[in-house]
């Protein structure tokens, strides 16, 4: 179940192509024969064309390199991926942040820490006075002695840490993220608690992300958070701040899993049936701009992986960032967007409706 996998790209898998992924996603109606489209749903809800509301968060994907190869990864990240952001592009991100309303920079990957300029980037961002979020996969901190001091480094720069822990049971976590990941994650959560992360009154925020280890939707965030708090405390004496429940998007490796396991039709039907128009206001793409490792701009990290670039005529690059133009753009949507509007909705910050 939890065999180590390689990236789709290194396996030369057909789903490594964003074109094929979009083709698969668009070939399909509801299995009851009804045709549907996300655009159609937006129209019906009076939200077409979809527009941004503000530029609040710049989410920067600083590379696809990762020490893990999780089965559901929408980035198709892994140790075999070499694409990482250069210092030059990082500087362009800093300039864009200084000249605009962004108050938060959200660093993601891959494992963002594997980029050799990661610490330089965090220090510069801290100097620029923005809130910094790092999407840390936890295990990276144990992957090499040069990462052991990361908890202290994060503390120094008051970084908000957001980490995946799909379950408080080892079996469900390892099934998704790889053998042994749960035990290491627990060890790192303890290290983070030790420097103050997740502890009452420390001001150091540690949030966990739950996403289903299979072809089903997440539960309500609140009740799950209570379970996680109770179990992590009683089993491991671990504390954390918030829990975000995130839906798995039917793209990249999770799309491959859905097709391989025969769950694709049922899962996409489920997303469609759970469409909730109330989630549209909180969609991540409405307050976030996403930057790829090479500096190109996207409406969100998912669009980035599907290569749906912002820009009417030519793809737009962070070096030409223009806030006004950004606010007047039309967000590019496609069938994968149903993953953001199912049930209570889903964003990088969990439920949105």
End-to-end CA gap in the chain: 33
- Candidates 9-17, 86-94, 161-169, 188-196: pick the segment binding another protein (CB under 8 A): 161-169
Strands 288-291 and 243-245: unpaired
Nearer of residues 94 and 347 to ligand SF4, judged by Cβ? 347
Kindly tell me which residue out of 172, 229, 236, 259 binds another protein, with binding defined by CB under 8 A.
Answer: 172
How many Cβ atoms are within 10 Å of 281's Cβ, its own excluded?
A: 12
Residue 291 CA to residue 58 CA, distance in Å, equals 7
Note whether 333 binds ligand SF4 by CB under 6 A.
yes
Which of ligand SF4, another protein, none does 284 bind, CB closer than 5 to 8 A by kind? Answer: ligand SF4
- Candidates 163-171, 300-308, 334-342, 344-352: pick the segment binding another protein (CB under 8 A): 163-171
Note whether 216 binds another protein by CB under 8 A.
yes
- Candidates 13-21, 113-121, 216-224, 292-300: pick the segment binding another protein (CB under 8 A): 216-224
Note whether 179 binds another protein by CB under 8 A.
no
DSSP state of 87: H
What's the chain's Rg over C-alpha atoms?
A: 19
Nearer of residues 6 and 231 to another protein, judged by Cβ? 231
Strands 288-291 and 297-298: antiparallel
Residue 267 CA to residue 328 CA, distance in Å, equals 34
Nearer of residues 99 and 220 to another protein, judged by Cβ? 220
Q: How far is CA 294 from CA 12, 60, 328, in A?
A: 22, 10, 23
Note whether 124 binds another protein by CB under 8 A.
no
Question: Strand (E) positions, the chain?
Answer: 57-61, 104-108, 131-135, 160-164, 206-210, 243-245, 288-291, 297-298
Question: Strand (E) positions, 225-264?
Answer: 243-245
The answer to whether 325 and 236 have CB atoms below 8 angstroms apart is: no
Note whether 284 binds ligand SF4 by CB under 6 A.
yes
Note whether 254 binds ligand SF4 by CB under 6 A.
no
Residue 220 CA to residue 185 CA, distance in Å, equals 23
- Candidates 33-41, 65-73, 117-125, 166-174: pick the segment binding another protein (CB under 8 A): 166-174
Give me 72's structure tokens.
């559901």
Which residues between 103 and 132 bind ligand SF4 (CB under 6 A)?
109-111
Site string for ligand SF4, 64-103 (x = CB under 6 A): --x-xxx--x-x-x--------------------------
Minimum distance from residue 322 beta carbon to ligand SF4 (Å): 20
Which of another protein, ligand SF4, none does 250 bind, CB closer than 5 to 8 A by kind? Answer: none
Q: Which residues are near ligand SF4 by CB under 6 A?
A: 66, 68-70, 73, 75, 77, 109-111, 137, 283-285, 299-300, 302-303, 331, 333, 336-337, 340
């Amino acid at each position: 179940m939890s065999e180590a996998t390689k990236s789709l790209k290194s396996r030369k898998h057909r789903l490594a192509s964003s074109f094929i992924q979009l083709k698969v996603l668009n070939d399909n109606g509801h299995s009851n024969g009804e045709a549907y489209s996300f655009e159609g749903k937006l129209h019906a809800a009076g939200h077409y064309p979809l527009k941004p509301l503000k530029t609040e968060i710049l989410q920067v994907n600083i590379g696809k390199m990762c020490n893990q190869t999780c089965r559901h990864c929408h980035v198709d990240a892994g140790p075999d991926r070499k694409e990482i952001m250069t210092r030059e592009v990082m500087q362009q991100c800093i300039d864009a942040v200084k000249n605009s309303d962004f108050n938060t920079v959200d660093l993601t990957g891959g494992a963002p820490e594997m980029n050799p300029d990661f610490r330089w980037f965090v220090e510069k961002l801290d100097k620029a006075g923005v809130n910094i979020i790092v999407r840390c996969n936890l295990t990276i901190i144990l992957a090499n002695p040069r990462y052991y001091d990361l908890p202290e480094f994060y503390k120094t720069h008051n970084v908000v840490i957001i980490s995946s822990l799909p379950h408080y049971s080892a079996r469900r976590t390892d099934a998704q993220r790889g053998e042994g990941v749960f035990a290491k994650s627990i060890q790192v959560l303890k290290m983070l608690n030790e420097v103050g992360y997740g502890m009452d009154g420390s001001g150091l925020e540690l949030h966990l992300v739950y996403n289903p280890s299979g072809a089903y939707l997440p539960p309500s965030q609140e009740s799950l958070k209570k379970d996680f708090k109770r179990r992590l405390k009683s089993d491991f004496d671990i504390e954390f701040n918030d829990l975000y429940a995130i839906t798995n998007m039917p793209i990249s490796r999770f799309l491959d899993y859905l097709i391989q396991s025969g769950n694709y039709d049922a899962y996409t039907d489920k997303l469609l049936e759970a469409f909730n128009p109330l989630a549209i206001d909180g969609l991540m793409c409405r307050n976030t701009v996403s930057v790829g490792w090479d500096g190109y701009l996207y409406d969100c990290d998912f669009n980035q992986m599907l290569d749906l670039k912002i820009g009417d005529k030519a793809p737009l690059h962070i070096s030409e960032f223009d806030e006004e133009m950004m606010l007047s753009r039309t967000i590019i949507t496609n069938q994968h967007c149903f993953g953001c509007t199912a049930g209570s909705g889903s964003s990088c910050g969990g439920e949105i409706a």
